[in-house]
Structure 1
Amino acid sequence: MANGHSTEHRVIESLYQWLSAGQSAWLCTVVKTWGSSPRPAGSVLAYHPEHGIVGSLSGGCIEEALIRKLSAASKDATTNTVPYLYEYAISEDDQARYSLPCGGQITLLVECLTPTPETLQHVKVMLDTLNNRQRIRRDVSLVNETISLSTEPRDVAGQTVTLSSESVSVLFGPVFKMLLLGAGEVSHYVAQMATPVGFAVTLCDPRESFLQGWQQEGVEVIQCLPDDLVRARFNDQYCAILALAHDPRVDDMALMEALKTEAFYIGAMGSLKTTEARCKRLAQLDCTPDEISQLHAPIGIDIGSKKPAEIAISIMAEVVSERHRFLKG
């Protein structure tokens, strides 16, 4: 997913392409779950009878049943275009076929989107907002075909999905990006953990000898001085910047730039003594006390370990915690 879009972003992008071509399509959103449902509330899937599906709602059990249902509805000229809720219970056969630990139930919001100017503009605004790396909340009426959007700060915080008897509210946002500075063992393990939990990961190290042999599927690798990269691509509030090189020549210039961005998380690896020396250097590089106070250092939760994999666990625990704190506003 490095330098890519979130699944939600790709779904909206596909819907816009299909609607722009004058074709109707379906949008399905997980709004409530019970038991072992494989995907959380807010997960989305787009379906087109000719182009198939984009996105995911489960490990496959729901998609099969849903495609049959939507395919039949697409051929029915009397299909109602008012959004509705569809409940799917995971059966014992589904559990065995898709290796699910136990039964569950999912409630989906199902929408048939037709290529009207209003719908096309609605989806375009969503796509433009996500392309600008901002959050947007979408409100869908369950009693008529009214849909609305909001980017107001008070509306784009809190729960991903809010459900009432008359409407569904769903929050969409851009993919979270993570910049790792330094091609070491800790970076290797952090990258392994960050990708599955929704980060697009980039590794940066100007030292050619450290990059030789460093491989991680799905991770973008760049050999350059990191300060320019931070300014250009890792400067918004959906970014985490981790200085793991343990080399002031790599870490300090990047941190000086990072502390002037809106990144939701900035961390640096090192001991308390190293951290104290680093903060003094950052002050000499014209970082203010308020900026330096944003730095998580020593990085991660203190678990008393010196093993790279365990240090990576402590780092990701702190990063994910801070991301949840940020999302709750």
Structure 2
Amino acid sequence: MATGAHESVFNDVRDWLLAGKRVWLSTITETWGSSPRPAGSWLAVSSDGDWSGSVSGGCLEEDLLNRCVAGGPEIPRFIDYGISDHDRDQFRLPCGGRIRLLVEPLWPERDLPHVEAVLEALKARNPVARIVSLGSGIARCELADTRQAGITVDAQVLRHGLMPEFRLLLVGAGEVARYVADFARAADFSVTLCEPRPTFSEGWSHAGLPLVQALPDDLVSRSFNDPWAGVLALAHDPRVDDMALLAALNSGASYVGAMGSARTSAERRERLASLGLAQEQLGRLRAPIGINIPSKTPAEIAISVVADLIAARHHLRVARPSL
């Protein structure tokens, strides 16, 4: 199972701090014009030159690596890229683009407890906010909610709201599931494949995507029942898909979708209604799943599905009301 970008970077930071290394964490705080990475993106660099994360398409990372390994700042420091024509030429920023970063030093003894607290909150599927003193560099964390996602900076502190990784449960082994998994993981989703049918599970041969042979309703209730979870019924078998959808539409999962034609989707809604689902619950079902490209091949269907997932995740992250 893949790990979300922030969690992955902080796992590396924790390992470096445990090894006694100093670390500098660069956070994009603002962007203007075109920029390859959004505000909140991280690049962590250790005193040995190890690095994790990304704050650009590659043009800024080398400069930040060199700065930190040569001796990064002792207190949080803002660095601006793309202000001058020289910056744009040297770092190949898009014309008119500008990025502001906060480079934050981390020490093993002082900052390891904070890093572990953030990781513990994210592992428990709780939104968490990092609050960093711009004067001292001392950071603390507190539980947050979806209304507090993103970056805010004032004269004294940086506040960075972090959301749990978005987990996907793909139900039904097949070519569509394989492509959805590949594209979704590249877009920073965590992916689990579930296949309860022995014929399909025993013949699954894609080593890069492990398969869990279990009933999908059990997995939904155990691990995919919060707002940062999605359940995708891709088996094309009502015995399997309906079991997953019944559980998912009764759960807190924010994204529930099923593959099939418009006619198949209408018949599915009738079956689910006969099994006791209310219209409000059925209204949450995205079927046919994905955006209307139109798509035909497994790869095209997967692209349409992941595009819709990205849009849904974005709306979840910027939502104002609490879920």
Q: TM-score range by the shorter chain?
A: 0.7 to 0.9
Residue 62 of structure 2 corresponds to residue 68 of structure 1: no
Residues 30, 99 of structure 2: 8 Å contact kept: yes
In 1: Cα distance, 2:201 partner to 2:69 partner? 49
Moved over 6 A (4+): none
Aligned match of 1:92 in 89, 93, 96?
A: 89
1:166-198 CA deviation, whole Å, 9 max, x = no partner? 432222222212122223343343333322211
Q: How many residues are matched?
A: 315
Q: How do 1:160-171 and structure 2 match up within 5 A?
A: 160-171=150-161
Closer, same or farther: CA 243–16 of 1 in aligned 2, 3 Å: same
More displaced, 250-259 or 161-170?
A: 161-170
Aligned match of 2:105 in 108, 112, 116?
A: 112
Give 2:228's aligned residue: 238
In 2: Cα distance, 1:303 partner to 1:61 partner? 33
Residues 25, 44 of structure 2: 8 Å contact kept: yes
Residues 180, 243 of structure 1: 8 Å contact kept: yes
Aligned match of 1:130 in 122, 130, 134?
A: 122
Give the SS at the match of 1:178.
strand
Give the SS at the match of 1:133.
coil
Shift of 1:37: 3.7
1:106-146 CA deviation, whole Å, 9 max, x = no partner? 221111122345x3332222111011122212222334445
CA-atom RMSD, angstroms? 2.9
Gaps of 5+ in 2: none
In 1: Cα distance, 2:237 partner to 2:80 partner? 54
In 1: Cα distance, 2:97 partner to 2:256 partner? 38
In 2: Cα distance, 1:167 partner to 1:13 partner? 24
In 2: Cα distance, 1:209 partner to 1:304 partner? 31
In 2: Cα distance, 1:320 partner to 1:281 partner? 29
In 2: Cα distance, 1:167 partner to 1:193 partner? 36
TM-score by length of 1: 0.82
Residue 170 of structure 2 corresponds to residue 176 of structure 1: no
More displaced, 268-277 or 257-266?
A: 268-277
Residues 181, 205 of structure 1: 8 Å contact kept: yes
Percent of aligned pairs with the same amino acid: 44
In 2: Cα distance, 1:107 partner to 1:49 partner? 22
Residues 201, 220 of structure 1: 8 Å contact kept: no
Closer, same or farther: CA 306–62 of 1 in aligned 2, 3 Å: closer
Residue 258 of structure 2 corresponds to residue 268 of structure 1: yes
1:288-308 CA deviation, whole Å, 9 max, x = no partner? 443333212232334555444
Closer, same or farther: CA 220–235 of 1 in aligned 2, 3 Å: farther
Residue 312 of structure 2 corresponds to residue 315 of structure 1: no
Shift of 1:229: 2.4
Shift of 1:6: 1.7
Give the SS at the match of 2:231.
strand
Closer, same or farther: CA 198–218 of 1 in aligned 2, 3 Å: farther
Gaps of 5+ in 1: none
Closer, same or farther: CA 205–102 of 1 in aligned 2, 3 Å: farther
TM-score by length of 2: 0.83
Matching residue's letter, 1:110: V
